[in-house]
Amino acid sequence: DGGITQSPKYLFRKEGQNVTLSCEQNLNHDAMYWYRQDPGQGLRLIYYSQIVNDFQKGDIAEGYSVSREKKESFPLTVTSAQKNPTAFYLCASSNPGVRTEAFFGQGTRLTVV
């Protein structure tokens, strides 16, 4: 089945540690996105990538880093510089153009203690 896989579903880390969230898609989509969602709030764009080896900052990129070495994969690293990393993280992918919707993974809930 085609889709987007985020792993793990739940992740716990100690404060000060970097952590990498995985996002893999087999939909052959060019564009991929990372969003952060805090309780009761909307999705905020962290980073997005239109093609392999290229990515751009979204609205809240500080404290995060990404890579896009393969079309299928877009991992997100939450660094120790991110002041409030505890949140729900959603990865999405899409074909290019304004007429196509983004498809989402199931999300990773990160808790930093």
User: Peptide bond preceding 75: is omega within 30 degrees of 0, i.e. cis?
Assistant: no
State the Cα–Cα distance between residues 63 and 8, nearest whole angstrom.
20
Binding of residue 90 to other proteins (CB under 8 A): yes
Binding of residue 107 to other proteins (CB under 8 A): yes
**Which residue in the set 19, 29, 35, 66 belongs to the binding site for other proteins (CB under 8 A)?**
35
State the Cα–Cα distance between residues 35 and 42, nearest whole angstrom.
9
Residue 18: CB minimum distance to other proteins, A: 24
**Which residue in the set 45, 52, 60, 61 belongs to the binding site for other proteins (CB under 8 A)?**
45
Binding interface with other proteins (CB under 8 A):
31, 33, 35, 40-45, 48, 50, 56, 58-59, 88, 90, 92, 94, 96-104, 106-107, 109
